[in-house]
Amino acid sequence: MKILQALLGAVAAVSLFAAPASAQNYPERSITMVVPFSAGGPTDTVARLVAESMSKDLGQQIIVENVGGAGGTLGAGRVAQADPDGYTILLHHIGMATSATLYRKLAYDTLNAFEYVGLVTEVPMTIVARKDFEPTDLKGLIDYVKANKDTVTVANAGIGAASHLCGMMFMSAIDTQLTTVPYKGTGPAMTDLLGGQVDIMCDQTTNTTKQIQGGTIKAYAVTSPARLKIFPDLPTAVESGLADFQVGIWHGIYAPKGTSAEVTERLSKSLQLALKDQNVTARFAELGTEPSSEADATPAALKAKLESEIARWKPVIEAAGQYAD
């Protein structure tokens, strides 16, 4: 009996000291960053830029893995169930907040299934249309779609995608329901907008900047509080008459619940350094966005953002009555 007690005591002692030692040496191998959307999309672009820079600081490669489907909930669910050792993390956008209402039966508790690392960036949206669409400014666009609501089509990258959320808010703001055309990803939606098969779309600058600059689509407004340096002549939605219409697609990094504070803090510090990387800031600028501040790239800031955004979008989604299940 005494021998058994001694063995149990030794095991407990090893367990007690193993976690801090592991956290202290973290990371000792490559890390998987799950992106719950398809490769080449806006969120994937952000993830790969940040992962490359964080890898340099951490001394281990961060491998981006795309686990798309169900509006980002499949990838999020995978991370929620992963071992809380810091080797599987999640980079998700605003859909982390909206899925809490869009999906009435989630496999995880959005607020309580994860540890928080920090905010990455908040990407502005653009209200765009096929290049030959008749309206010339946002006021004209609003008047036109109201008068032709039965024939105007709005593209999005699928339920829960940033383009779906922004489009839903646009229809709510102008009090007009339009025919929505969901696609399996941002790429196919943009392809049909370029081809004239659909009329309008509201999507992130990370996906629309090149097309706007190339004149292959028509841009009406940005959804940021102020005009963007990259598009100084493109007005904001607010100054064009849509009061309070500000939508930013924020991105954050999460870890499975139970991941140690030492590990999440290490990841947060690495994120903060990555967001100061000249390559990251330059590429973000080309995409019409900016890195989050050091104060926002923290666990506390991300948790507060998620809580406030769930509260913000819940009434919008419930009023639209559009659910994913």
pLDDT at position 5: 52
* Pairing between β-strand 88-92 and β-strand 248-256 as defined by DSSP bridges: antiparallel
pLDDT at position 74 is 95
C-alpha distances in Å from residue 109, one per residue of 24, 75, 81, 175, 321: 29, 14, 11, 32, 21
Q: Would you state the pLDDT for residue 71?
A: 84
pLDDT at 18: 42
Per-residue pLDDT at 160: 79
Query: Which of 40-44, 181-185, 230-234 is the most confident on average?
Result: 230-234
Q: List pLDDT tens digits, range 46-91.
A: 999 999 999 999 999 999 999 988 889 999 999 999 999 999 999 9
| pLDDT tens digit sequence for 110-156 | 999 999 999 999 989 999 999 999 999 999 999 999 999 999 999 99
Handedness of CA 130, 136, 138, 139 (dihedral sign): negative
Q: Is 50 exceeded by the pLDDT of residue 21?
A: no
Quote the pLDDT of residue 17.
Answer: 44
DSSP code per residue over 176-232: ---EEEE-SSHHHHHHHHHHTSS-EEEEEHHHHHHHHHHTSEEEEEE-SSS-BTTBT
- The confidence band for 22, taking pLDDT boundaries of 50, 70 and 90, is low
Alpha-carbon span 71 to 161, nearest angstrom = 6
Mean pLDDT of the chain: 91
pLDDT of residue 40: 84
- The arithmetic mean of pLDDT across residues 278-290, rounded, is 92
pLDDT band at 161 (very low <50, low <70, confident <90, very high): confident
pLDDT category at 7 given cuts 50, 70, 90 is very low
Is the confidence at residue 211, as pLDDT, over 60?
Answer: yes
The SS3 assignment for 88 reads strand
Please answer whether residues 120 and 49 qualify as being in contact, where contact means their C-beta atoms are separated by less than 8 angstroms. Answer: no
pLDDT at 191: 95
Specify the pLDDT at position 14: 43
Q: Which residue has the higher pLDDT, 141 or 5?
A: 141
Distance from first CA to last CA of the chain, Å, rounded? 56
